[in-house]
Amino acid sequence: MFESAELGQTVDKTTWARRVPGLRTALLDAQADVREAGTFPVIVLIGGVDGAGKGETVNLLNGWLDPRHVVTHAMGAAKDEIVRGMPHMWRFWHALPPKGKVGILFGSWYSSPIVDRVYGKIKKGGLQRSIDEILRFEKMLTDDGACVVKLWFHLSKKAQRARLGALEKDRDTRWRVTATDWKHFGMYDEFRSVSEEVLRQTSTGDAPWTVIEGTDARYRGLSAGTALRDAMRKRLAVGAKHARRAAKAGPADLSASVPGKRVIHELDLSPTMKSKKKYDDELEHLQGKLSLLSRHASFARRSVIVAFEGSDAAGKGGAIRRITSALDARLYEVVPIAAPTAEERAFPYLWRFWRHIPRRGHVTIFDRSWYGRVLVERVEKLCEPAAWGRAYQEICDFEDQLVAHGAIVAKFWLAISQDEQLARFREREKLGFKRYKITAEDWRNRASWDEYEVAASDMVDRTSTERAPWTLVPANDKEFARIKILRTLCDRIEAAL
Examine residue 168 and tell whether it contacts a copy of itself (CB under 8 A): no
Distance CA 412, CA 478 (A): 14
User: Which residues is 147 bridged to in the sheet?
Assistant: 42
- Residue 426 contacts by C-beta under 8 Å, 6 or more apart in sequence? none
Quick note: the x/- pattern for a copy of itself over 4-33, rule CB under 8 A, is: ---------------------x--xx-xxx
Question: Out of 6, 190, 196, 333, which residue is the one contacting a copy of itself (CB under 8 A)?
Answer: 333
- Report angle CA 348, 351, 357 to the nearest 5 degrees: 160
Distance CA 290, CA 490 (A): 6
Tell the smallest beta-carbon distance from residue 306 to a copy of itself (Å). 12
Examine residue 170 and tell whether it contacts a copy of itself (CB under 8 A): no
Distance CA 407, CA 86 (A): 10
Considering only the stretches 16-24, 67-75, 264-272, 400-408, report the one whose residues sit in contact with a copy of itself under the rule CB under 8 A: 67-75
Residues 125-144 that bind a copy of itself (CB under 8 A): none
DSSP letter (8 states) at residue 68: G
Contact at 8 Å (CB) between 438 and 429? yes
Distance CA 245, CA 349 (A): 19
Examine residue 383 and tell whether it contacts a copy of itself (CB under 8 A): no
Phi, psi of 265 (to 5 degrees): -65, -35
Tell the smallest beta-carbon distance from residue 446 to a copy of itself (Å). 21
Question: Out of 317, 361, 406, 469, which residue is the one contacting a copy of itself (CB under 8 A)?
Answer: 317
Tell the smallest beta-carbon distance from residue 32 to a copy of itself (Å). 4
Examine residue 62 and tell whether it contacts a copy of itself (CB under 8 A): yes
Residues 347-376 that bind a copy of itself (CB under 8 A): 365, 367
Examine residue 336 and tell whether it contacts a copy of itself (CB under 8 A): yes
Considering only the stretches 189-197, 265-273, 320-328, 440-448, report the one whose residues sit in contact with a copy of itself under the rule CB under 8 A: 320-328
- 381 or 430: whose CB is closer to a copy of itself? 430
Distance CA 398, CA 354 (A): 9
Torsion of CA 328, 331, 336, 342, to 10 degrees: 150
Examine residue 67 and tell whether it contacts a copy of itself (CB under 8 A): yes
Contact at 8 Å (CB) between 295 and 497? no
Distance CA 300, CA 386 (A): 39
Tell the smallest beta-carbon distance from residue 322 to a copy of itself (Å). 10
Contact at 8 Å (CB) between 115 and 191? no
Distance CA 262, CA 321 (A): 30
Tell the smallest beta-carbon distance from residue 404 to a copy of itself (Å). 23
Exposed, middle or buried, 433 (CB in 10 Å: 0-12/13-18/19+)? exposed
How far are the Cα atoms of 15, 416, 492 from residue 282, in angstroms, in the given order? 80, 22, 17
Quick note: the x/- pattern for a copy of itself over 248-287, rule CB under 8 A, is: ----------------------------------------
Question: Out of 245, 274, 295, 355, which residue is the one contacting a copy of itself (CB under 8 A)?
Answer: 295
Examine residue 334 and tell whether it contacts a copy of itself (CB under 8 A): yes
- 26 or 199: whose CB is closer to a copy of itself? 26
Residues in the site for a copy of itself, rule: CB under 8 A? Answer: 25, 28-29, 31-33, 36, 55, 58-59, 61-63, 66-74, 81-82, 84, 104, 106, 175, 295, 317, 320-321, 324-325, 327-330, 333-336, 341-343, 365, 367, 433-435
